[in-house]
Amino acid sequence: MKPGIWELLILLVIILLLFGTKKLRNAGGDIGSAFKNFKKAVKDEDKQVEDKSKDADFESTEQSQKQNSEQSSETTNSKK
């Protein structure tokens, strides 16, 4: 059985009487800033992981190019 609109309104009034509007406003602000900081942390972590994967790809490409140039120079030296 779902609570109706009147039950929800009565519950809201009771909560307002118990805690007061100032405490509820502060709690809402704290929860909102916590969500904001969490989202920011997740985005920053994803960006760091993405940056690291780009760096790793760049390094591996650079290493393979060095190996290819070393192999070609060895081949040239062995032919002489």
Angle between helices 21-79 and 5-19 (to 10 degrees): 100
- pTM of whole model > 0.85? no
Contact residues for 19 (Cβ-Cβ < 8 A; gap 6+): 27
User: And the tokens for 44?
Assistant: 């920053």
Among candidates 41, 15, 40, which has minimal Cα distance to 28? 15
What is the per-residue pLDDT across 39-66, written as a single tens digit (0 to 9) for each?
Answer: 999 998 888 777 766 655 555 556 666 6
- What confidence score (pLDDT) does residue 32 get? 94
- Position 48 scores a pLDDT of 79
Chain centre distance of CA 4: 38
Task: Assess whether pLDDT exceeds 60 at residue 78.
Answer: no
User: Which position has the higher pLDDT, 62 or 12?
Assistant: 12
